[in-house]
Amino acid sequence: MSLVIQEHAQARLITDGPDPRVVPVELRCDPQEPGTVHVRLPGGADWAVGQDLLERGLRSPATRGDIGVWPCGRAQLVLELHSPDGVAVFQFDRAPFIRFLSRVRAGTAKQKLPAAAPATRA
């Protein structure tokens, strides 16, 4: 049985206005889609992001297709999403991403372990 790993986070939606808007975001990794993290935004928008892209983006700027990720100072992470409707830029605290990716790595490692032989009574 494989479990979906989820983490709830808050992001600041960066806009042209004077104050960013805080929005709830859900990070989700399903073992049926290894290496893919779903970032669910308000309104139901769901972006599939490579786990490796997020890992790299925690340390240095990383881009793949319509998605960019980079560190912002020591405690922040920026996620930039391009679509035909425009560009959305979100700023996150790094801690939820680090915690989430750590749980994903641990879950992936457990799935790769060979199944233990059933115990038998002598």
| This prediction's pTM | 0.83
pLDDT in tens, 76-112: 999 999 999 899 999 999 999 999 999 998 887 665 5
pLDDT digits (tens, 9 = 90+) for 7-53: 999 999 998 878 889 999 999 999 889 899 999 998 889 999 999 99
Mark 27-49 as b/e (b = at least 16 C-beta within 10 Å).
bbbeeeeeeebbbbbeeeeeeeb
Q: d(Cα 94, Cα 122) in Å, to the nearest integer?
A: 51
> Quick one: three-class SS letters along 64-108?
ECCEEEEEECCCEEEEEEEECCEEEEEEEEHHHHHHHHHHHHHHH
